[in-house]
Structure 1
Amino acid sequence: MIEVKDIYKSFDGTQILKGISTVFDKGKTNLIIGQSGSGKTVFLKCLLGLFNPDKGSISLDGKIYPQLSPREQRGLRQDMGMVFQGSALFDSMTVEGNVMFPLEMFTNKSRSEMQDRADFVLKRVNLGDAHKKYPSEISGGMQKRVAIARAIVMNPKYLFCDEPNSGLDPKTAIVIDNLIHEITLEYDITTVINTHDMNSVMEIGEKIIFLKNGIKEWEGTKEDIFKTDNEAVTNFVYSSELFKKVRQMYIEERN
């Protein structure tokens, strides 16, 4: 569980985050949504410990990053998996090499143990035959799956994803969404996803935080979105005709 209490963050006198409080539950897919400039990326970096809030606190199962010793901070970082927006794979490494990289950096496992672990997570993301390929030799969707495999190879307690569907076609995006959701449930991870993809919200949004101008404007589930009267949320979510029709269908079914 990640508990956020009244955090503020500013840069060069400009307030980016303005008193955000929330809880991200273990074993759920928690989504952060909002327009560009709403503070999503800064918020995610605060959760990761890359930025320290100016005020307030973020605790990961009771651990507050700035209060930990360097050794404890290192241990907490090893409990975090990250899927970057552009996958961030090393072009010069094979798929297997990319997935094994965190093990080589942070563990004392033998080569055979690391290969066994890499093999396990690659099979879990349905890439059992891609070990010796390079990122340039596989599709964008496969690269995302490699990034997910690398993020979970250390068996993390927390999984952070920054726009995991960026650049993917709708069909592949659904595959990635479902894979992240399955892994969250299977390993009982606290997963936080920064996204602008409303299909992801409707597909796996067990908890959704909507940010606007650095403020938590709304939170709820994907079902709650259909019922909210919050104008900022509805303007953001139903900016497309498709979602307007979906909401109308939902309302008609309930009446």
Structure 2
Amino acid sequence: MIEVTNLEKSFGDAHILKGISTTFEKGKTNLVIGQSGSGKTVFLKCLLGLFDYEKGKIAYEGQVFAELSEAEKRNMRAKIGMVFQGSALFDSMTIEENVMFPLQMFTKQSKSEMQDRANFVLNRVKLKDANKKMPSEASGGMQKRVAIARAIVNNPKYLFCDEPNSGLDPKTAIVIDNLIKEITEEYNITTVINTHDMNSVMEIGDKIVFLKDGLKAWEGSKDTIFRTDNEVVTDFVYSSNLFKKVRRMYIEDNS
């Protein structure tokens, strides 16, 4: 579990995060949504320890990250997997080498042990026999699955995903959503996903935190988001006629 308490972050005179408090549970897909400029990316980078913050605290299983020593922070980072927007694979490395990279950073495994682990996670994301390919030889969906394999290769306790469906067609996006959810539940990971994709919200949103102008404007689940009367949320979620129709059908079916 990750607990966030009264988190505040500024850049000069710009107050970006304004006292956000929430929790992210194990085995759940926790989604952070909001318009551009809402603070999602800054929030994620604070959770990852990439940004310092002025007030509040972030605790991983009760350990306050800002209070850890440098050695303890390194140990904590070894428990974190990250799927970057655009996958962020190393173009000069094979798929296998990309997946092995976290093992080289954080473990003392032999090359054969790292290769065995890379094979295991590549099989898990249905990329058997892709080891020697270069990223340029892989489709966007394949690259995203490589990024997920790399993120889980070190058996992380925490998985962060920044816009994992960015640039993917709708069918492939659903495959990636379902893969992330399966892995989250299978390995009991605390997963936090930054997204603006409402299909992801409705497919895998066990918990949803909605940010607006650096504030937590609402939180709930993919079920309760249909029933909320919070105008800030409904304006964002039901900006398309499709989701307006889905909401109306949902309310009728559950009334």
- TM-score band w.r.t. shorter chain: over 0.9
Residue 182 of structure 2 aligns to a residue in which SS? helix
Measured in 2, the distance between the counterparts of 1:24 and 1:103 equals 26
Residue in structure 2 matched with residue 199 of structure 1 by the alignment? 199
Measured in 2, the distance between the counterparts of 1:148 and 1:180 equals 8
**1:173-212 alignment runs, 5 A limit:** 173-212=173-212
Residue in structure 2 matched with residue 80 of structure 1 by the alignment? 80
Residue in structure 2 matched with residue 57 of structure 1 by the alignment? 57
Q: Can you list the C-alpha shifts for 1:74-122, whole angstroms capped at 9, x where unaligned?
A: 0000000000001000001110010001111221100100000000000
Q: Can you list the C-alpha shifts for 1:49-88, whole angstroms capped at 9, x where unaligned?
A: 1112210000010111111111100000000000000100
Output the amino acid matched with 1:50.
Answer: L
Measured in 2, the distance between the counterparts of 1:135 and 1:57 equals 38
Residue in structure 1 matched with residue 225 of structure 2 by the alignment? 225
Residue 112 of structure 1 aligns to a residue in which SS? helix
Residue 217 of structure 1 aligns to a residue in which SS? strand
Residue in structure 2 matched with residue 13 of structure 1 by the alignment? 13
Q: CA deviation at 1:152?
A: 0.3
Residue in structure 2 matched with residue 244 of structure 1 by the alignment? 244
Q: Can you list the C-alpha shifts for 1:115-148, whole angstroms capped at 9, x where unaligned?
A: 0000000000000121110000010000000000
Measured in 1, the distance between the counterparts of 2:73 and 2:16 equals 25
**1:82-97 alignment runs, 5 A limit:** 82-97=82-97
> Aligned residue pairs: how many?
255
Residue 161 of structure 1 aligns to a residue in which SS? strand
Output the amino acid matched with 2:254.
Answer: R
- TM-score (norm: length of structure 2): 0.99
1:112 aligned to 2:115?
no
Measured in 2, the distance between the counterparts of 1:52 and 1:24 equals 20
Measured in 2, the distance between the counterparts of 1:22 and 1:100 equals 33
1:24 aligned to 2:15?
no
Q: Can you list the C-alpha shifts for 1:216-241, whole angstroms capped at 9, x where unaligned?
A: 00000000011000000000000011
Q: Is the 8 A contact 2:57 2:66 kept in 1?
A: no
1:157 aligned to 2:157?
yes
Output the amino acid matched with 1:125.
Answer: V
Runs of 4+ in 1 over 4 A off after TM superposition: none
**1:41-52 alignment runs, 5 A limit:** 41-52=41-52
Q: Report sequence identity in percent.
A: 75
* Unmatched 5+ stretches in structure 2: none
**Root-mean-square deviation (CA), in Å?**
0.5
* Unmatched 5+ stretches in structure 1: none
Q: CA deviation at 1:12?
A: 1.1
Q: CA deviation at 1:202?
A: 0.2
Measured in 2, the distance between the counterparts of 1:102 and 1:250 equals 43
Measured in 2, the distance between the counterparts of 1:243 and 1:129 equals 40
Q: Is the 8 A contact 2:58 2:66 kept in 1?
A: no
- TM-score (norm: length of structure 1): 0.99
Q: Can you list the C-alpha shifts for 1:183-224, whole angstroms capped at 9, x where unaligned?
A: 000000000000000000000000000000000000000000
Measured in 2, the distance between the counterparts of 1:171 and 1:129 equals 23
Measured in 2, the distance between the counterparts of 1:146 and 1:249 equals 37
